[in-house]
Amino acid sequence: MHMSDQNTMTDVNQVQHMFLQVESSDAVCILNVAGHPYRLRELIFMMIESGCRVQQTTAEGYQSFIYDKETVEVYDYLTSIIKAKFL
C-alpha cells in the first residue's frame, strides 16, 4: 500500500460516490450512495451478509430505473444514501 493510499483511507473527509443495485428476496432498489470508502465497504458487506445481491451500476442505470418511491437517509456523518429507488 502506498503512503498516499493510506492517507486517503484514514482521511475522514474522503468521500467516495457510487450507484449500487441491491436485490433482496422481496425488493429491488438502486442506491445512490456517498461516504467514506471504509463505510461504503462496511455498508455493502452488511447488505451481502443479510442475503442481498449487490452490484455496482451507473448513473444511467440509476436514472432509467423504474421505481415507486425515493428516500434520503443519512446514517452518520461518514455515510449517506442520497437516494434509494425501489421497484
Residue 49: per-residue pLDDT: 96
What pTM was computed for the model?
0.74
- pLDDT reading at 1 higher than 60: no
- 34-60, pLDDT tens digit by residue? 888 988 998 899 999 999 999 999 999
| Cβ neighbours, 10 Å, residue 60 | 9
Cβ contact 77:64 at 8 Å: no
Cell numbers linked to 48: 451481502
Cell numbers linked to 55: 452490484
